[in-house]
Structure 1
């Protein structure tokens, strides 16, 4: 029997703590805190809405995180 897959790591921190940070610094910090995937997006980007455990999304405007959310 095949092993049961383990979902990606998801850090326990609040995504709002990244808002206002420099995008590069925020991405490094998120990875250090245990997020397995960090995705930076421009404002208004068209994205799929599936939820991915372990993913942190950043909306980046003028080099700073304007919004952050899980999935």
Structure 2
């Protein structure tokens, strides 16, 4: 079996994500994910709920300073 390299998305800590709202529930966003086709914003709950999927598919992740993303 050939080993497969798994690339991680680039993670950037930003001071705040003012004005961003979670695309799942509308709460204040703590994380913004950039994909090749666009962006999605997530509150803390949804960012942690989908952490594995985000890490596997994102190109870039912007995390609000002070938020402990489980990934």
Superposition TM-score, scaled by structure 1 size:
0.31
